[in-house]
Structure 1
Amino acid sequence: MNLPTITHYDLLGGEEGVLRLVNRFYDLMDELPEAWELRKIHPQDLQSARDKLFKFLSGWLGGPGLYEAEYGHPRLRMRHAPFPVDIQMRDQWLMCMNVALDEQVTDELFKMQLKSAFANVADHMRNRTN
């Protein structure tokens, strides 16, 4: 008998949970003065960014590969190359994501796993040395 595989997508609450995380992340980017530099490199209307992050995270967390189905391989570094992603941008991005995770995820081990995975990806996006 094969037991169903429980993914991070499932543990986060599936589509509804991922969407809630993404929306809170972008709301925090708008709300927190400490994220001002990060916010200003995004367009005024964040709907496209919200949609793309939701679709990416769906597949990255083990759910439906929505991003790949629509846009192909994520090629994250290439897609972020036009933007100055330095330590400050990375840290502001992580601050918003970590606050959103703190508000949504109650399981401490799962939260730690997600924060570690997000930190690795965010650091990989750096394209400036400082």
Structure 2
Amino acid sequence: MSLYEEMGGRATFENLVSHFYALVATDPVLRPMYPDDDFKGAAERLLMFLEQYWGGPDTYSQVRGHPRLRMRHAQFKIGEKERDVWLSHMKSAV
């Protein structure tokens, strides 16, 4: 059994991502990074990434290729403040 399965599988990660983006959607620091209210697309990508990272399906790589996180986030201005807020919301979601 993978760690992904031990953690509860897809349902666990769907709940985590849902909670995380509920916080992001109302956050004054992170909210501006989603000008088109594209939380659904962002949530789907994060779900696929987390599932793959924790030993679940490798859907992220099949759909998006190598994660290349630095490249994918290069368009955003992410400093210590943004990092800390993101981590705080992720900690709350977990």
TM value normalised by structure 1: 0.67
- Equivalence for 2:85: 92
RMSD over equivalenced CA pairs, Å = 1.2
Give the AA of the match of 2:7: L
Instruction: Using the aligned pairs only, state the percent identity.
Output: 39
TM superposition shift of 1:40: 1.1
- Equivalence for 2:28: 36
Give the number of aligned pairs: 93
Partners of 1:12 and 1:77 in 2: how far apart? 27
Greater C-alpha radius of gyration: 1
Partners of 1:72 and 1:61 in 2: how far apart? 17
Partners of 1:15 and 1:66 in 2: how far apart? 12
Partners of 1:30 and 1:50 in 2: how far apart? 11
- Equivalence for 1:19: 14
Alignment partner of 2:40 out of 28, 47, 50: 47
TM superposition shift of 1:18: 0.6
Q: Does 65-74 or 38-47 show the bigger shift?
A: 38-47
- Equivalence for 1:79: 72
Give the AA of the match of 1:99: S
- Equivalence for 1:68: 61
28 and 11 in structure 1: CA distance in 2 versus 1, 3 angstrom threshold: farther
TM superposition shift of 1:29: 1.4
Within the alignment, does 1:56 sit opposite 2:45 as a pair? no
- In the alignment, structure 2 segments of 5+ residues that lack a partner are none
Q: Check the 8 A contact 2:2/2:56 in 1, yes or no.
A: no
Partners of 2:40 and 2:78 in 1: how far apart? 21
TM value normalised by structure 2: 0.91
- In the alignment, structure 1 segments of 5+ residues that lack a partner are 102-130
Task: Tell me: higher relative CO, structure 1 or 2? Use CA pairs within 8 A at least 6 residues apart.
Answer: 2
Give the AA of the match of 2:77: P
